[in-house]
């Protein structure tokens, strides 16, 4: 039996970052992981493999749509699907082995197997029981099930199966127009699938600034994705490699059925903490099955903490990472903290969509007096040069103080551009601070400055 200052259960972005930070702060740390490789959902079946396929399929799209316009003559691209999947797996491997290297470098023991907590201060892995002064649960999440939908991970798949389909489907139905469904749906649309997205609500991407959401849907439609909104899926069944999806129109209750070669069920994720023994330990859960924690990530059981997808808040890798750092600092006697007001979110389609802070709808609801500064990428020289003029930057600022309250971007590099505004918000900056900062030309980030300028005397290029 080994004894540690800290045992982290789960090696996703929450768990592995927590383990590394705690080791850097001088704690003796072990991390339990039941999967064959480290890195959790994010590196193995989430962020990283989906981005590899988004990149590869975007290259196909560039070759098909834009090469000839730039005077690059090539034959129409042919897709070698097994090779594309191998590229995706190689990307996963490089990242998961990178975490293994970092564990060794920081002298973190990887306890291989599924962990449970027989009592506070003890973690059981296989037949071994280890002692820990503190335990951090970072066991992540799993896809939610949908009544009447029979997932077999071959024809009717979750995001996990969608990353390993045997062939590119001719027709695909995506149930749920959230981030994961639209990212993977646009991968297959670019690879030639006829993709139909069926969504319960009457708009896509719930929680997104409505103006950005409408623009996003229009752009995706132009790329060939079809949308059936206000539709409650009743069932999805598979037979001999074909699937049948039935939904009810929520306005008139009429039922319709669609056939496809693959169905992706992307209706959300729920916290995963099976087998840990939480009930016996008296660890309280929320109504949604998340582990309840206080402001310092402490659960209701002494010495047991929880972070990441397993607790409330946005299910995002960087939110889990920041919580991992914060709890490591707290356990090392420092003052760890996460600013939940400034957590960016990104959709890695093409164009990308990114947001931070309040949406216009949220500001209206809160009765906050605000102003909007907008700038279209059509006015940005660099964007036009690479055929990426679709979309805009929208900055929301306080009407009186000009303080930045939120930013919503749809356009090239949005997922990177947003961080300029994140930093501005962390420093409590006014939009004028962004407007007065020199931005290199020609860059996409000039569009962020122009949106800030639009809140003052006016954008230059609009």
Active-site residue set: 441
Q: Is 41 in the site for ligand FAD (CB under 6 A)?
A: yes
Measured distance CA(111)–CA(99) in Å, rounded? 14
Q: Distance between the two ends of the chain, CA-based, in angstroms?
A: 68
Residues 194 and 170: beta-carbon distance below 8 Å: yes
Angstrom CA distances, 419 to 238, 317, 354, 407, 432, stand at 43, 16, 10, 10, 17
- The CB-side HSE value for 194 (13 A sphere, CA atoms) comes to 6
Measured distance CA(134)–CA(169) in Å, rounded? 48
Q: Is 96 in the site for ligand FAD (CB under 6 A)?
A: no
- The residue assigned the tokens 């951090």 is 136
| Binding-site string for ligand FAD from residue 269 to residue 288, where x marks contact by CB under 6 A and - marks none | ---x--xx------------
Report the nearest approach of ligand FAD to the CB of residue 114 (Å).
4
DSSP summary character for residue 223: T
Q: Is 108 in the site for ligand FAD (CB under 6 A)?
A: no
Report the nearest approach of ligand FAD to the CB of residue 325 (Å).
12
Specify the residue, 102 or 232, whose C-beta has the smaller distance to ligand FAD.
Answer: 102
Residues 161 and 149: beta-carbon distance below 8 Å: no
Q: Is 12 in the site for ligand FAD (CB under 6 A)?
A: yes
Angle formed by the axes of helices 13-24 and 317-331, to 10°? 30
Site for ligand FAD in 172-191 (CB under 6 A): 180
Residues 300 and 282: beta-carbon distance below 8 Å: yes
| 309 among annotated binding-site residues | yes
| 62 among annotated binding-site residues | no
Specify the residue, 31 or 407, whose C-beta has the smaller distance to ligand FAD.
Answer: 31
Give the binding range for ligand FAD (CB under 6 A) out of 251-259, 285-293, 316-324, 405-413.
Answer: 316-324
Sign of CA dihedral 335, 340, 343, 345: positive
Q: Is 308 in the site for ligand FAD (CB under 6 A)?
A: yes
List the one residue out of 221, 222, 216, 142 whose CA is nearest residue 178: 216
Q: Is 315 in the site for ligand FAD (CB under 6 A)?
A: yes
Measured distance CA(320)–CA(261) in Å, rounded? 35
Report the nearest approach of ligand FAD to the CB of residue 133 (Å).
19
Q: Please report the DSSP string for 395-412 in residue order.
A: EEEETTT-BEEEEEEEET
Ramachandran region of residue 213, left (φ > 0), alpha (ψ -120 to 50) or beta? alpha
Paired tokens of 210: 């409505």
Q: Is 290 in the site for ligand FAD (CB under 6 A)?
A: no
Specify the residue, 34 or 230, whose C-beta has the smaller distance to ligand FAD.
Answer: 34
Give the binding range for ligand FAD (CB under 6 A) out of 186-194, 312-320, 403-411, 447-455.
Answer: 312-320
Give the binding range for ligand FAD (CB under 6 A) out of 165-173, 211-219, 314-322, 451-459.
Answer: 314-322
| 125 among annotated binding-site residues | no
Q: Is 11 in the site for ligand FAD (CB under 6 A)?
A: yes
Give the binding range for ligand FAD (CB under 6 A) out of 100-108, 206-214, 235-243, 309-317.
Answer: 309-317
Specify the residue, 161 or 376, whose C-beta has the smaller distance to ligand FAD.
Answer: 161
Measured distance CA(245)–CA(151) in Å, rounded? 12
Q: Is 316 in the site for ligand FAD (CB under 6 A)?
A: yes
In the list 20, 85, 138, 448, the residue contacting ligand FAD (rule: CB under 6 A) is: 138
Q: Is 40 in the site for ligand FAD (CB under 6 A)?
A: yes
Measured distance CA(22)–CA(4) in Å, rounded? 11
The Cβ of residue 369 has, within 10 Å, a number of other Cβ atoms equal to 9
Q: Is 309 in the site for ligand FAD (CB under 6 A)?
A: yes
Specify the residue, 31 or 425, whose C-beta has the smaller distance to ligand FAD.
Answer: 31
Q: Is 373 in the site for ligand FAD (CB under 6 A)?
A: no
Specify the residue, 163 or 407, whose C-beta has the smaller distance to ligand FAD.
Answer: 163
Angstrom CA distances, 407 to 2, 357, 383, 400, stand at 48, 7, 19, 17
Task: Please report, as ranges, the residues that interact with ligand FAD according to CB under 6 A.
Answer: 9-15, 32-35, 40-42, 46-47, 50, 114-115, 138-141, 159, 180, 272, 275-276, 308-310, 315-318, 320, 348
The annotation places the binding site for NAD(+) at: 176-183, 199, 268
């Amino acid at each position: 039996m080994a004894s540690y200052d800290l045992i982290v259960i789960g090696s996703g972005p929450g768990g592995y970052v927590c383990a590394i930070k705690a080791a850097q702060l001088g704690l003796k740390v072990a991390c339990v992981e039941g999967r064959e490789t480290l890195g959790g959902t994010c590196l193995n079946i989430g962020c990283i493999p989906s981005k590899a396929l988004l990149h590869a399929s975007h290259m196909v799209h560039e070759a098909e749509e834009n090469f000839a316009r730039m005077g690059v003559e090539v034959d129409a691209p042919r897709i070698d699907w097994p090779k594309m999947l191998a590229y995706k797996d190689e990307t996963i491997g490089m990242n998961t082995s990178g975490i293994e290297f970092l564990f060794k470098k920081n002298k973190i023991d990887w306890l291989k197997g599924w962990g449970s907590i027989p009592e506070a201060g003890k973690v059981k892995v296989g037949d071994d029981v280890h002692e820990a002064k503190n335990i951090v649960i970072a066991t992540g999440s799993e896809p939610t099930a949908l009544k009447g939908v029979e997932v077999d991970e071959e024809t009717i798949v979750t995001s996990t199966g969608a990353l390993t389909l045997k062939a590119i489907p001719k027709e695909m139905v995506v149930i749920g127009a959230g981030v994961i469904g639209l990212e993977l749906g646009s991968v297959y649309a670019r690879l030639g699938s006829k993709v139909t997205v069926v969504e319960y609500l009457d708009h896509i991407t719930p929680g997104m600034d409505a103006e950005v959401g409408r623009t996003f849907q229009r752009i995706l439609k132009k790329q060939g994705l079809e949308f059936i909104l206000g539709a409650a899926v009743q069932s999805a069944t598979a037979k001999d490699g074909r699937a049948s999806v039935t939904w009810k129109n929520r306005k008139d209750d009429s039922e319709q059925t669609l056939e496809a070669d693959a169905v992706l069920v992307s209706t959300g994720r729920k916290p995963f903490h099976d087998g840990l023994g939480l009930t016996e330990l008296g660890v309280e859960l929320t109504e949604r099955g998340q582990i309840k924690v206080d402001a310092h990530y402490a659960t209701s059981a002494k010495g047991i903490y929880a972070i990441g997808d397993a607790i409330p808040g946005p299910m995002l890798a960087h939110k889990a990472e920041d919580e991992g750092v914060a709890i490591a600092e707290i356990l090392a006697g420092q003052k760890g903290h996460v600013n939940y007001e400034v957590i960016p979110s990104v959709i890695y389609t093409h164009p990308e969509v990114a947001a931070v802070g309040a949406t216009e709808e949220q500001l209206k609801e809160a009765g906050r007096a605000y102003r909007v500064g907008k700038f279209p990428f059509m006015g940005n020289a660099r964007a036009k040069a690479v055929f990426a003029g679709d979309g805009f930057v929208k900055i929301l600022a306080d009407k009186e103080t000009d303080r930045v309250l939120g930013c919503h971007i749809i356009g090239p590099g949005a997922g990177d551009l947003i961080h300029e505004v994140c930093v501005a918000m962390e420093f409590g900056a006014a939009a004028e601070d962004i407007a007065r900062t020199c931005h290199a030309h020609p860059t996409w980030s000039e569009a962020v400055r122009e949106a800030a300028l639009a809140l003052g005397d006016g954008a230059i290029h609009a």
